Amino acid sequence: MDLLDWHRGRLSSRRLAVLVRHMPRDSALARALHGEAAEWQVGDYLLAAAVDHLAESNWMFATVNQDEDAEPLEYPVPVVRPGADDGAGDGTGGEQAEETGPPVAAGPGPAELLHFFR
């Protein structure tokens, strides 16, 4: 497809709009418009949510079953999703988390988890 065909009158504006609107998600135009989010599909978001929930449930299990005098376990860092520019869950796990402190909603404490699971 030559875009000069639109200029030459061989391609209608409507046909050009349809071609642009239905470009594949991995096209250069989609990446330019939507950035990294163009590469993520619904299945990728669902998989990231499943990984986050599995990590959180493992953290809950380990927190409830650890010794009483042990230090609290770190809350799991969520998978980074496109467009998440708030810095929380950026995947660095190190310097950023220490500078900003613990997340606001760090999750329930051991006593709350124990009460929930009993």
- Name the 3-class secondary structure at 57: helix
Question: At a CB cut-off of 8 Å and minimum separation 6, what does 13 contact?
Answer: 6
- Nearest-5° Cα angle at 62, 106 to 114: 75
Residue 82 lies in a domain: yes
* Residue 85 and residue 30 in one domain: no
* Residue 31 and residue 61 in one domain: no
Q: What is the mean pLDDT of the chain?
A: 78
For the chain, how big is the Rg over CA atoms in Å? 23
* Residue 66 and residue 108 in one domain: yes
Residue 47 lies in a domain: no
pLDDT tens digits along 33-48? 878 777 788 888 899 9
* Residue 71 and residue 34 in one domain: no
Which region holds residue 113: left if phi is over 0, alpha if psi is between -120 and 50, else beta?
alpha
Residue 74 lies in a domain: yes
pTM of the model: 0.54
Question: What range does the domain containing 23 cover?
Answer: 4-39
- How many independent structural domains does the chain possess? 2
